[in-house]
Amino acid sequence: MPPKKEAKEKPIKGDLEVQMVLQYLRSVNRPYASTDVSTNLKNKVTKPEAQKALVALADKGLLTMKPYGKQSIFVYNQSQLPVLDPEEFAQLDAQTKEAKEALEERRKELKTVSGELARMEALPKTKELGKEIERVGAENTLTLAALAPFRGDGEAKADPMSAADRDVIDKSWVRWRKEWTDRKKMYKNIMGIICESGAVANQGEFEDEQGVELDDDEAQEVDREFGSSAAINPKVAAATKSMAKTTPKTKPAPAPGKKSTGKRKRSESASQQSGETGEHDSDDE
């Protein structure tokens, strides 16, 4: 059976509706139009009767009326409200402060409980525990199989690498990666010069014609994962810095047909000293 419709209340008429409108505006102490008053009272007072009651109350000075466009807004006369003394104001302020503190505590509790709820919801459900146990068991089996050669379970035990061996491998990685990055940078610079000069219109086609093989996806993945030397071993970063400091910086060679100024000055001073020595020897003779 369809649900029964709620029976509409009959509108109130007479002085009772005036008292109801007055009591409502006094309790809410907010400005309303006649339409809002009738709606908020659930149509116990019709819109025309609400308008009449509001105008009558405004004429008596119990309400304040202010025209706003095509309609009038009514609010309870503030002079009719009781005035609180300072002690009552202080009491209300204290109650407000206590309410704010209690609200802040409830918000913190809500935040804590919400975080705990999110953590618990992230855990596997009871019906999913069987699959989770099987997955962890499979991972455990693979891990044990990988560790078996190092433990010597039925096979020749493999000796683990020493710290010195690992350092050698790490330093070798840093060295050859530096060579690779330097050559890659040189290639990019050369290709940039060639493309800017206009000798190559399409870099991709030029590389295909010359048989240039770029880094494949596997090499790029290795560089992203182990590109930072510190990602392999924190000591490697220090080794890289020390290699950079100890690497001698080569000075550019002088242009053909030109001699170094320092060598020229040293040769001139040597020739002058030899000439002076010859003069002294001739005088002595």
In a domain, 284, yes or no: no
SS (H, E, C) 91-116: HHHHHHHHHHHHHHHHHHHHHHHHHH
Same domain, 205 and 230: yes
Same domain, 170 and 240: yes
| Residue 45: domain span | 15-80
Same domain, 57 and 98: no
Count of the separate structural domains present in the chain: 3
Q: What is the CATH number of the domain that holds 40?
A: 1.10.10.10
In a domain, 210, yes or no: yes
Same domain, 69 and 55: yes
The pLDDT tens digits along the chain (285 residues) read: 455 555 555 555 667 888 999 999 999 999 999 999 999 998 888 888 999 999 999 999 999 999 988 889 999 998 888 877 888 889 989 999 999 999 999 999 999 999 999 999 888 888 888 899 999 999 999 998 888 777 765 555 666 778 899 899 999 989 998 998 899 899 999 988 988 888 888 888 888 888 888 888 887 787 777 765 444 455 555 555 555 454 444 444 444 444 444 444 444 544 455 454 444 444 444
Predicted TM-score of the model (pTM): 0.33
What whole-number distance in Å separates Cα of residue 9 and Cα of residue 126?
A: 53
In a domain, 155, yes or no: no
